[in-house]
Structure 1
Amino acid sequence: MKLRKVTAASAAVLALAVAATACGSSNNDSGSSGGGKKIKIGIKYDQPGLGLKEPNGSFSGFDVDVATYVAGKLGYKPSQIEFVETKSADRENALARGDVKFIVASYSITDERKQKVDFAGPYFLAHQDLLVKANSKINKGTDLNGQNLCSVTGSTSAQNVQKTIAPKANLKENSGYSECVSSLQSGAVDALTTDDSILAGYAAQAQYKGQFKLLGLKLSNENYGIGVKKGDTTTLNKINDALKSMVSDGTWKKDVEKNFGPANYKYEPAPQIGQIVK
């Protein structure tokens, strides 16, 4: 009789332990393919048209749309997505630490970065360009000589302009692109340089509609890829399949035009998976 009591008690303890384990695991992020409670995706919070956290806490932009579509193909509903701010300097570390499953954040594919992370895509081809006022007399790069050029502190974009097309441009650096856009609007600077996708995102905002234009100079090729942890081939392949589907079913084009259309941005066709434009 005593043996039966001990056995019954042990069974009860075991049942509670199993239940607790099951309960605990249901709250974890599965981090792989669908079926988990949530998936964490790295994006930018401060790039209109690409990745922007709105005042009401929602998110908008082409990168957000791409991330949402890809997550859907991996089995996650929008309500299961947790967007995590992933700044440029911390993208590789965020993947290595497992803070996010993948990153969609105007993340240009470079040989140096490929040593640390794997890239799905590319899903977009951007170029360095100039943004000027709609009525500006600056129509080509050499017109910038003697004019004020804005970029963010530490960016190589302005140096590239000075090196290749306008050595006498006066560089004005700000802490962020929003400050540069405000300076351009006020006339404190004559042009702003960075990726054309970022410039188009700002120009497409309602408060700036019709005020700016892109020159379409194509000063560099920026192949945007989706970063995944080095060696995570399973996720990489699934994301590539999702990107192919996004292009083939028309969603890619629809989302590009939704986010950049108001800027009259002459975007490139969707790139082929694995095809890097040098």
Structure 2
Amino acid sequence: MKNIKKVLAAVIVGTLLVGSFVGCSKSTTSDDKSKSSAATSSLEDIKKRGKIRVGVFSDKPPFGYVDSNGKNQGFDVEIAKRFAKDLLGDESKVEFVLVEAAARVSVLESNKVDITMANFTVTDERKQKVDFANPYMKVSLGIVSPDGALITSVDQLKGKKLIVNKGTTAEAYFMKNYPDIELLKYDQNTETFEALKDGRGAALAHDNTEVLAWAKSNKGFTVGVPTLGSQDTIAPAVKKGNKELLDWINTELENIGKENFIHKAYEDTLKPVYGDSVSPDNLVIEGGKLK
């Protein structure tokens, strides 16, 4: 009887120990997964991969879009290519990851991209989630509407519907400052502007650089409010805490600023749209520093 009790005790102790080890094993695996999901690409990682992954828009000309040949084009794209050339020796060594406005933070947090350059406006809220490099462009909000019912003041939007993109500064601005104005929200830029064409809203609010460009290529629409809210800046963003890549981008912007590269990118991509009606000095930030 005593022997049986000893055997049972040994079995129970063994079972508890095995359960303890299994529990530890599961905990370690969970930690490993957590660390894996929180991985950050160093400069060495990018060089070993042979590609730098950059988040850009697919449907926001002239800043980021896919042309009829399936190639990425636009102002942000030109700057990203230069980054690839100076970091990896070849501008083709960039992998463009197409993102929507609301996903610009999450693709960094999930390590799907190394840099987000999808016309990304710097805000205090976003600074809590990502690290912004120095800026390369200035921007504020603008409102575009049909010529037949032109909106020239925010007050005219009361009792009407305003179209915006989800995850944009336009959405945040109107939700905070004009909560009584009804917002129609869409994920993609193409959906947003189609909604305006279809008359689903009285007007559309977006970055003024965007609506000015769109109105120039779409007759019957005018930017009646060219500047709204404070002037903001657009900058590349990296995953929170990736100081190595952040420092590299800031140095890169300073270096290419010495040759006025951002102005050149403007001439190649934005001037054909804006013409002489907009001065590049009113939009472009050279060398990563505001004057």
State the TM-score, normalizing by the size of structure 1.
0.70
What code does the residue aligned with 1:268 have? L
**Separation in structure 2 between the aligned mates of residue 92 and residue 146 of structure 1, nearest angstrom:** 33
Quick one: which of 187, 191, 198 aligns to 2:203? 191
Q: 1:23-34, aligned counterparts within 5 Å?
A: 31-32=45-46
Q: Is the 8 A contact 1:127 1:221 kept in 2?
A: yes
CA shift at 1:162, angstroms?
7.5
**Separation in structure 1 between the aligned mates of residue 97 and residue 156 of structure 2, nearest angstrom:** 40
Q: Is the 8 A contact 1:201 1:259 kept in 2?
A: no
Q: Is the 8 A contact 2:257 2:286 kept in 1?
A: no
What residue ranges of structure 1 are gaps of 5+ in the alignment?
1-28
The residue number in structure 2 matching 1:219 is 229
Pair 146,86 (structure 1): closer, same or farther in 2 beyond 3 Å: closer
Percent of residue pairs identical: 27
**1:180 is aligned to 2:192:** yes
Q: 1:82-161, aligned counterparts within 5 Å?
A: 82-133=95-146, 137-152=150-165, 157=170, 160-161=173-174
CA shift at 1:43, angstroms?
1.5
Pair 111,235 (structure 1): closer, same or farther in 2 beyond 3 Å: same
- Structure 1 or 2: more helix by fraction: 2
The residue number in structure 1 matching 2:37 is none
Pair 180,68 (structure 1): closer, same or farther in 2 beyond 3 Å: same
Quick one: which of 66, 73, 93 aligns to 1:60? 73
The residue number in structure 1 matching 2:54 is 41
The residue number in structure 2 matching 1:8 is none
Quick one: which of 245, 257, 270 aligns to 2:285? 270
**1:69 is aligned to 2:79:** no
1:136-155 deviations in whole A, cap 9, x for unaligned?
54323323345442224576
**1:236 is aligned to 2:259:** no
What residue ranges of structure 2 are gaps of 5+ in the alignment?
1-42
**Separation in structure 2 between the aligned mates of residue 219 and residue 187 of structure 1, nearest angstrom:** 25
1:106-151 deviations in whole A, cap 9, x for unaligned?
2222334333332211222211221123565432332334544222
1:204-257 deviations in whole A, cap 9, x for unaligned?
5x5x26843352222244322211233332322221122223433233123235
RMSD of equivalent CA atoms: 3.5
Q: Is the 8 A contact 1:130 1:192 kept in 2?
A: yes
**Separation in structure 1 between the aligned mates of residue 236 and residue 168 of structure 2, nearest angstrom:** 22
**Separation in structure 2 between the aligned mates of residue 45 and residue 159 of structure 1, nearest angstrom:** 22
Name whichever of 92-101 and 62-71 sits farther off. 92-101
**Separation in structure 2 between the aligned mates of residue 56 and residue 63 of structure 1, nearest angstrom:** 18
The residue number in structure 2 matching 1:249 is 259
Q: Give the count of matched residue pairs.
A: 244
**Separation in structure 2 between the aligned mates of residue 185 and residue 89 of structure 1, nearest angstrom:** 23
Q: Is the 8 A contact 1:200 1:265 kept in 2?
A: no
**Separation in structure 2 between the aligned mates of residue 112 and residue 154 of structure 1, nearest angstrom:** 11
CA shift at 1:192, angstroms?
0.5
Pair 114,78 (structure 1): closer, same or farther in 2 beyond 3 Å: same
SS in 1 for 2:164: strand
1:71-114 deviations in whole A, cap 9, x for unaligned?
22223412211111234444444334433222211222233433
Pair 162,44 (structure 1): closer, same or farther in 2 beyond 3 Å: closer
Pair 52,184 (structure 1): closer, same or farther in 2 beyond 3 Å: same
CA shift at 1:268, angstroms?
3.1
CA shift at 1:178, angstroms?
2.2
